Amino acid sequence: MADLIKVKDLDLDEETTSRILEKLRHVSQLYKSGKLFFPRHLLADLSQQIDEGKEEVYIPNLDDVPQLYSLEVPNWCADFANTYRISYQSIQYLGCPTPFCPEFVLRSDHAPVTIGYMRSSGPTGSTFEAVREAFARNRQTWLESPSRRDLEHHLATLKTTATIQKIVCFGLGSLGRLCGYHCTRAHTQHAAVETMVASLAKRGLNGGQEIKCYAQDPVYDEIDKEFLTSIGIAPLDDPKGFLAVDQQTLVFSVSPNVPVKQIITDLQRPAAMVWNTVSPIDNDKCWTKRVEKNGKIGWTW
């Protein structure tokens, strides 16, 4: 949570500062009381509303008051947005107001799950065959890499007897963007799913059953989905990937831009997780004020 003292450095009037501090304390108290910020019933209800083709959906805020959101891009943001996204906010974000608009924490929709609007770049334009060829090259590089051997070693020595019959991936990236680092990263991460399936089956952790694989990423386009299906990974729309996680699931997510760990913790404890660097405790983040040599005030996160 934010250092409440630093809120007073934002040069707001006394009443606004007091209201912000009160709201931050309220968020902190809810979190410490054990309130689930990402309960399964909330995401299941949202998924159902989307499936029903509704133009508007209701999502409860932290005080369980339903908030209405449009799934059509509103006029006020039509000049920069062309689609909606489900927004997931971490406890760190909810408890640390941005200095550029600190009053935002006072809004009723300052909540863990909301609807936001953004500009989608649209289909990548890559063909299925081009994606297949690029993936084959990156997959071979992965198979010959020390990282693949390290992953196999970790899975071979994983201290668990849990049955794992499902792998659910989050935020692995579009396979259709064939230039630069993003291509290598996305293709390598998807190729690693095959390694995990083989390693888990070799240990018998699958209980003799087929390990089903799923992936959720809002950036997937139709070519992505077609190719994923061809390599045995079923694409899922948000939030169905989260709802697919159960106690026999291995969750795979590397550097996602949503708080996947916090969401999964509230939804269902999985059998295992494959992650990026894990620290003992997620450090609390807050905006830090700095003064440039020219006297200009800036902020860093």
Structural domains of the chain sorted by starting position, each given as residue range(s) with its CATH number in brackets: 6-120 (no CATH), 128-274 (3.40.50)
Burial class (CB in 10 A: 0-12, 13-18, 19+), 24: buried
pTM beyond 0.95: the answer is: no
Q: Are the C-beta atoms of residues 117 and 84 closer than 8 Å to each other?
A: yes
213 sits in which H/E element: strand 212-216
Burial class (CB in 10 A: 0-12, 13-18, 19+), 231: middle
3-state secondary structure of 169: strand
Q: Are the C-beta atoms of residues 88 and 112 closer than 8 Å to each other?
A: yes
Looking at residue 97, what is its pLDDT? 82
Quick: pLDDT tens for 68-118.
Answer: 999 999 999 999 999 999 999 999 889 888 877 888 889 888 999 999 999
